[in-house]
A and B are shown apart, each in its own frame.
Chain A
């Protein structure tokens, strides 16, 4: 899909979430769902398979998110998947998150951690990243066991890698 169309969908989702008054929550849920879609080939195939009827794909979304996310989030994802844009869902959501962050004068900080962060850790990490980058950040935490331990933070083009995975890979390279 073209960037213009992705931006168009992102703008639509953004306006709907803002109109519903739960932009932050929806944005966060959408971001985590997008990362789940990226990390699961089976989920991505199920949501993008053109041979599966749109109604079936939408019911799959509702089964996945129903009760775990807000109704707005579920309906927005269902709408995108039902319109046959499931393949572009992560890009649309990333664009939405960037737009929401920009609206709040924040920079998106994608943080990958092997284990969930406590609220206190998220607050201190947000402050640390703001101190390190000189920008206020919109923290998006992704639990990613593949990094083994530690944290990988991406703010714009800056990547701060404190993961065990990277250290193990470096050790492997030296070996």
Chain B
């Protein structure tokens, strides 16, 4: 048994069923079609603007969200650029500070070397001067001691030689010398 035959049998048996299993009855098409057109027209007339307005609002919200996202993206891009610039600045500052520190360290080293050299030269000169002074002092002391001993010896010898006869000779020599002068 075919399907159409089976549907005909069912329709013949149930009065609520149409004669076609696809198309409604003719009177239903006659009244149903205008009613549907009317309903759709009413819907288009009343609900259309609301729906259009809602869609426009939604579009606007979406556009605003897109704009905000775009602005946020631009701001983020700016921030990223600033951060990159700041990073660049930090890097250049770091390089500058490193260069400056290196220059200062080099200057300190040069200065320190010069100062140490000068101090070493001073110490060497002072040591030389001290050695010379010590030698001179030793020589002077030795010379003074020799002179003192020689003087004492001379005075001792002279005193030993000065008897009455020598005294008399000295006095007579003085008188003769003074008398002869003028």
- Contact check: which of A128, A151, A175 meets B170 at CB < 8 Å? A151
Known A149-B170, A168-B155; contact A175-B175, beta-carbon cutoff 8 A? no
In the complex, which residues 151-182 of chain B have their Cβ closer than 8 Å to any Cβ of chain A? 151, 154-155, 158-159, 162, 164, 166-167, 170-179, 181-182
Please count how many residues in chain A sit with their CB below 8 Å of the partner chain's CB atoms: 25
Whether B150 sits at the interface, judged by CB under 8 Å, is: yes
Cα–Cα distance between A21 and B179 once the two chains are bound (Å): 33
Chain A residues 96-136 with CB under 8 Å of chain B are 113-115, 117, 121, 124-125, 127-129, 131-132, 134
Is there an interface contact between B147 and A172, defined as CB atoms closer than 8 Å?
A: yes
Interface size class of B (residues with CB under 8 A): 20 to 34
In the complex, what distance in Å separates the CA atom of A171 from the CA atom of B155? Answer: 10
A162 and B150 form a contact (CB under 8 A)? no
* Residues from chain B with Cβ under 8 Å of A113 in the complex: 171
Q: Which of A117, A121, A153, A175 has the most CB of B within 10 A?
A: A175
CB of A55 within 8 A of chain B?
Answer: no
B151 — nearest CB in chain A belongs to which residue? A172
A64 adjacent to chain B (CB < 8 Å): no
A23 CB to nearest B CB, Å = 27
**B residues near A171, Cβ cutoff 8 Å:** 151, 154
Q: Report how far A154 CA is from B176 CA in the complex, Å.
A: 17
Q: Which of A115, A129, A134, A172 contacts B154 (CB 8 A)?
A: A172
How far apart sit A134 and B158, CA to CA, in the bound complex (Å)? 34
Residues of A within 8 A of B173 (CB): 150, 162
Question: Is the CB of B127 closer than 8 A to any CB of chain A?
Answer: no
> How distant is the Cα of A81 from the Cα of B151 in the complex, in angstroms?
41
Least CB distance from A52 to B in Å reads 37
Contact of A148 among B147, B162, B171, B172 (CB under 8 A): B162
Q: How close is A7's CB to chain B, nearest CB, in angstroms?
A: 31
Interface status of B146 (Cβ within 8 A of chain A): yes
Which of A117, A153, A164 is in CB contact (< 8 Å) with B158? A164
Closest CB in chain B relative to A149 CB, distance in Å: 5
Q: A162-B173, A168-B154, A175-B147 are in contact. Are A128 and B179 (CB under 8 A)?
A: yes
A160 interfacial by beta-carbon distance below 8 Å? yes
Are the CB atoms of B171 and A129 closer together than 8 Å? no
Q: Which 7 A-B pairs have the closest CB atoms?
A: A128-B179, A162-B174, A175-B147, A128-B178, A150-B170, A172-B151, A151-B174
A residues apposed to B, CB below 8 Å: 113-115, 117, 121, 124-125, 127-129, 131-132, 134, 148-151, 153, 160, 162, 164, 168, 171-172, 175
Q: Told that A128-B178, A151-B175, A160-B174 touch, could you supply 5 new A-B pairs with CB distance under 8 A?
A: A125-B174, A132-B181, A148-B162, A153-B174, A171-B154
A-B contact pairs, 28 of them (CB 8 A): A115-B167, A115-B171, A121-B175, A124-B175, A124-B179, A125-B175, A125-B178, A129-B178, A131-B178, A131-B182, A132-B181, A132-B182, A149-B167, A150-B174, A151-B170, A151-B171, A151-B174, A153-B178, A160-B174, A160-B178, A162-B170, A164-B158, A164-B162, A164-B170, A172-B151, A172-B154, A175-B147, A175-B150
B contact residues vs A (CB 8 Å cutoff): 146-147, 150-151, 154-155, 158-159, 162, 164, 166-167, 170-179, 181-182
